[in-house]
Structure 1
Amino acid sequence: MTASTTRRTAATKSRIVAVGAIAVAGTMLLTGCGDQTNDGEAKETKAAAAPLADKLPQAIRDKGVIKVGSDIAYAPMEFMDANNQPAGVDIDLGKELGKVLGVEFKFENATFDQLVLGMNSGRHDIVMSSMTDTKERQQGASKDATGGADFVNYFKAGSAILTQKGNPKGIKNLDDLCGLTVAAQRGTANEDLLKTQQKKCGAKKIKEFISDQDSDSITQLQTKRADAVITDFPVALYNELEGGGGKLFEVVGDQIDAAPYGIAVSKKNPELRDAIKAAVQKIIDGGTYGEVLKKWKAESGAIETATVNAGK
């Protein structure tokens, strides 16, 4: 409503128009307030229907969203689907956790070795990105975990060696990687494993290809620029089953050094950590956890009890 609408004139008709305009504006204002109330009521209704909503910090409940930092290029754990939407084990588990907590888990793409730093600087509320829980990360002693974090353990996986189909180099274990070109993702336990093996190779050095994304490592293997990739076991298995319809890749040897994955939470936010731990246990006990893992053929990583900082 403009100032000219309410400008006084001698004409009675103008006064009637002004009063009508004010009435309309008042109706619009009330309607706007009604929308806000409905939105607030919707959030409260959603939270009330969630069995563990009261365990969350009030600030999170008010927002209705948990911002999740993730490197979304790690199928089947987290990746972008054909519609460029986040998909995978972690995304589906996040949806189930959100249901019992009464909030949305909103995944935000970021570089893996910057995730914990991003969380501790306030960019993310948590990190859920197939991150192995280690003492170094808990304490902030590793470069990819500046500031440290607490980890709610929700899955267990080790590393694996992925080769081209038919294993043309005859690789059976880590020792067989000496003298070959091997890819791994930067800032991961798999890079650490590669560098540890490198020290054992003596003069027969491994030619390392360290990528920012695991998908780049897989591409190097597919194009035969790398002889093998060290990646997480569920990722290796997924690529063996799905890559080119099961015709491109092969997992060789046994799973290596299985360890817990953790959902990283700031050490300054124990209330959020404990709420997420309770939610993980809730979906395990309720069965939706197992359904998600079965959907993605990741049952080998299932756990029975949610823990905190179980990594070594």
Structure 2
Amino acid sequence: MIKKSLKLALGAMIAMTPVYLAEAGETLDRVMKNKQLVLSSDAAYPPQSFLNDENEMDGFDVDVAKEIAKRMGVELTIITPAWEVITAGNWNGRWDLSVGSMTPTKERAEVLSFPAVYYYTPASFAVHKDSGAGSLDDLNGKTIGVCGGCTYDAYMDKNLVIDAEGVPAFDYQVSAGEKRTYETDTNAFDDLRLGDGKRLDAVLSALPTLQEAMKNGYPFKTVGKPVFYEPLAIATDKGDPEFDAKIKEIVAAMKSDGTMKTLSEKWYGVDYTSTN
């Protein structure tokens, strides 16, 4: 039933999508009129979002988006623009929302709205299994890979601001000798898997994403405890409070009736929807 309502369009189709001006109510009106919710997603960010063996988008974030679309009574269409394009805002109607495990930082809030935090995830360092690193201190001065423009990038630059309510305090425990940025976490993982110190000494990413990579054969091991916990929010373009209110209402209902917890346990094996 859900599969029939899911249409996958790759990033190249962005240019084919009509452009709309962002005015109050316009996004919600457009979604309900067209009976279509357009999601921006990442096709290489498992287990949050990825192409499965049937060449269909799958994952925790995708399931959350499917449920939102279902509760709105519309179809879900997925496109895959670059992360930097999503976080830049000013979407001009090319897509309607991002369910992309985005941290609602103060800088991003200047160009985006964050109607609902839907889960929290720990961020951890990983090294190649042949690495002798056994603690976070061992990573100081090393070459570390992160996704460009994401919170891990900001953490390594020591300017990460997470000002959402209920976020545990954190310290900058690692200083890289060199930081290398990548379009996606997967690209960084691919460099680390080549061998200890070949291109990278370590990566910083979401712990569930690292665990999924190791489950799929990446020769990694995590080092130390998580260095921070991220509140991860649904993002929308600024300009439509009615649409934001609708998304907030649906996410609250999904938490209240246990749907969000069920989806978290399905993909992660634990409930990441609360910091309790």
Normalised to the residue count of structure 1, the TM-score between the two structures is: 0.69
| 2:144 aligns with one of 182, 200, 205 | 182
Stretches of structure 1 that go unaligned for 5 or more consecutive residues are: 1-55, 140-146, 306-312
Aligned residue pair count: 235
Give the SS at the match of 1:184: strand
1:230 paired residue among 201, 204, 212: 204
Write the letter of the residue equivalent to 1:66. Answer: L
Which fold has the larger relative contact order, with Cα–Cα distance below 8 Å and residues 6 or more apart in sequence?
2
Identity of aligned residues (%): 25
8 A Cα contact 2:133 2:223, kept in partner: no
Whether 2:81 is the aligned partner of 1:110: answer yes
The aligned amino acid for 2:72 is L
Aligned counterpart, 2:116: 152
Tell me by how many angstroms 1:69 deviates.
1.3
The answer for unaligned runs of 5 or more in structure 2 is 1-26, 160-171
* 1:188-246 residue CA offsets vs partner (Å, 9 max, x unmatched): 0101112229x9888xx522221111110010111122121101122122223x131xx
**Partner residue in 2 for 1:163:** 127
Residues 284 and 275 of structure 1: CA distance in aligned 2, closer, same or farther (over 3 Å): same
Structure with the higher strand share, 1 or 2 = 2
In the TM superposition, residue 97 of structure 1 has moved relative to its aligned partner by: 1.5
Distance 2:41 2:65 in 1: 11
Aligned residue number for residue 221 of structure 2: 250
RMSD: 2.5
Q: Deviations over 1:35-94 (max 9, x none)?
A: xxxxxxxxxxxxxxxxxxxxx933321111111112232111111122322111000111
When residues 164 and 243 of structure 1 are mapped into structure 2, their CA distance, relative to the original with a 3 A threshold, is: farther
Higher helix share: 1
In the alignment, which residue of structure 2 is the partner of 1:13? none
The question of 1:70 aligning with 2:41 is answered yes
Q: 1:278, 1:64 → 2: CA distance?
A: 19
How far apart in 2 are the matches of 1:235 and 1:200?
Answer: 21
C-alpha distance in 2, partners of 1:200/1:64?
Answer: 47
Q: Residue 234 of structure 2: which of 256, 259, 263 is its match? A: 263
SS of the residue corresponding to residue 250 of structure 2 reads helix
Larger Rg: 1
Taking a change above 3 Å as real, the CA distance of residues 104 and 212 of structure 1, as seen in their structure-2 partners, is same
Q: Following the alignment from structure 2 to structure 1, what is the Cα–Cα distance between the partners of residues 275 and 180? A: 36
Q: Would you say the 8 A contact 2:89–2:237 is kept in 1?
A: no
Relative distance call for 1:220 and 1:63 in structure 2 (3 A) is same
Q: Distance in 1 between matches of 2:123 and 2:129?
A: 18
8 Å CA contact 1:222–1:248 kept in 2: the answer is yes
**SS in structure 2 at match of 1:120:** coil
> 1:153 is paired with a residue of what secondary structure?
strand
Question: What is the rounded CA distance, in whole Å, between the counterparts of 1:273 and 1:180 in structure 2?
Answer: 42
What is the TM-score of this pair, normalised by structure 2? 0.77
Tell me: CA distance 1:283–1:220, structure 2 relative to 1, closer, same or farther (3 Å).
same
> What letter corresponds to residue 132 of structure 2 in structure 1?
K
